[in-house]
């Protein structure tokens, strides 16, 4: 009996060694691929080489699209496709035509795909400044169909004349940007603000020709020559949008950090970092709820993030430390697709990791 007990103890010990020495590499974040978008090409040609790399995922993209979109919405998208030139910038229309060709999607499906990305992303965004006033911007993008999106996420470096003009994180099929940076100017990310049914937003896109997708607005902001943080805050506060949203921005100077809480037509609030780096607030945490309200217990990512930042302290804020904050549960969760860390005044810091928690 003593022998049996000894054998049992030895077996349990061996199992423990194996268990605790096992490294679940499939759970480690990994670098998102990076591609160049040549803005000097015709719009229809800019995405062709990239989308063809993701052509094998088109059946999954379509299947997910059909799960999210009820049958009655398909004719609406087809109607929008007919009058698309009256709603969206011509350049983006032509890019979507090229994407449709590259991914073997109908034009109406490509439009729906871009609207869907625009209005259904749950996220956490943090803009924070260190004790010297250097502003850092982190974001987690959370989404349904997570496994598919992890396969089709990439960094887009938009270049003209061989120079990077702006950078974003993109899903195959998307022309707008949810996460973006203009070097030495600003960083910006989008978090969904849940106001009404998703199809209210689709109707808004169809019947209000002045309203644009938020992701298109973000790309407009970072692609505009001479755009700075103050101008960007003003622009995103004034444009008519197809969906309520939170736009989180960072700049290059002390105090250049803000969360713009948007309705479709009006701005509800602009929440800013302190203009004095030594004073509060030195960070802003935005998830998917108005910052002056209490998030629901079932989806409280804000409080854990704020607790982690307070424990970190402003003196120890670095890109790596911010990444670690973005990686705590439930800020990082099973629906997190990617994490991006960026800093406008240090453009080379921009990086995105695919998350598989």
Active site residues: 123
Which residues face 272 on adjacent strands?
258
Taking CA 227 as the corner, what is the angle to CA 120 and CA 90, rounded to the nearest 5 degrees? 60
Maximum Cα–Cα distance across the chain:
84
Sign of the Cα pseudo-torsion (273, 248, 126, 299, in order): positive
Strands 153-160 and 34-38, sheet pairing: parallel
207 burial via Cβ count (<10 Å: 0-12, 13-18, 19+): exposed
DSSP-derived secondary structure for 77-98 = HHHHHHTGGGTS-HHHHHHHHH
Residue 342 in contact with residue 176, Cβ under 8 Å?
A: no
Residue 244 in contact with residue 195, Cβ under 8 Å?
A: yes
**SS (HEC) of 272-335:** ECCCCCCCCCCEEEECCCCCCCCCCHHHCCHHHHHHHHHHHCHHHCCHHHHHHHHCCCCCCCCC
CB atoms within 10 A of CB 101: 17
């Amino acid at each position: 009996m003593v022998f049996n007990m000894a054998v049992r103890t030895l077996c349990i010990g061996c199992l423990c060694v194996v268990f605790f020495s096992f490294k679940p590499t499939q759970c480690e974040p990994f670098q998102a691929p990076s591609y160049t978008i040549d803005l000097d090409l015709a719009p229809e040609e800019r995405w062709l080489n990239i989308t063809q790399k993701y052509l094998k995922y088109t059946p999954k993209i379509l299947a997910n699209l059909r799960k999210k979109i009820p049958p009655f919405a398909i004719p609406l998208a087809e109607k929008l496709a007919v009058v698309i030139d009256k709603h969206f910038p011509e350049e983006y229309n032509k890019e979507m035509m090229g994407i449709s060709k590259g991914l073997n999607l109908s034009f109406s499906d490509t439009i729906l795909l871009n609207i869907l990305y625009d209005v259904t992303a749950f996220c956490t965004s943090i803009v924070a400044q260190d004790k010297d006033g250097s502003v850092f911007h982190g974001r987690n993008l959370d989404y349904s169909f997570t496994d598919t999106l992890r396969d089709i996420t990439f960094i887009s470096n938009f270049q003209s004349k061989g120079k990077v003009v702006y950078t974003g994180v993109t899903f195959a099929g998307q022309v707008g940007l949810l996460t973006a940076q203009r070097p030495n100017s600003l960083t910006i990310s989008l978090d969904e603000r849940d106001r009404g049914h998703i199809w209210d937003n689709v109707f808004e896109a169809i019947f209000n020709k002045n309203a644009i997708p938020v992701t298109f607005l973000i790309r407009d902001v970072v692609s505009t020559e001479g755009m700075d943080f103050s101008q960007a805050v003003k622009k995103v506060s004034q444009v008519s949008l197809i969906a309520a949203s939170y736009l989180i921005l960072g700049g290059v100077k002390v105090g250049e950090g803000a969360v713009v809480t948007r309705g479709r037509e009006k701005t509800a609030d602009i929440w800013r970092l302190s203009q004095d780096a030594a004073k509060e607030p030195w960070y802003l945490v935005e998830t998917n709820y108005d910052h002056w309200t209490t998030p629901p217990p079932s989806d409280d990512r804000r409080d854990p993030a704020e607790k982690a930042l307070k424990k970190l302290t402003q003196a120890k804020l670095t890109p790596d430390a911010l990444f670690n904050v973005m990686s705590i549960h439930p800020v990082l969760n099973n629906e997190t697709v990617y994490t991006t860390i960026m800093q406008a005044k240090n453009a080379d810091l921009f990086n995105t990791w695919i998350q598989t928690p």
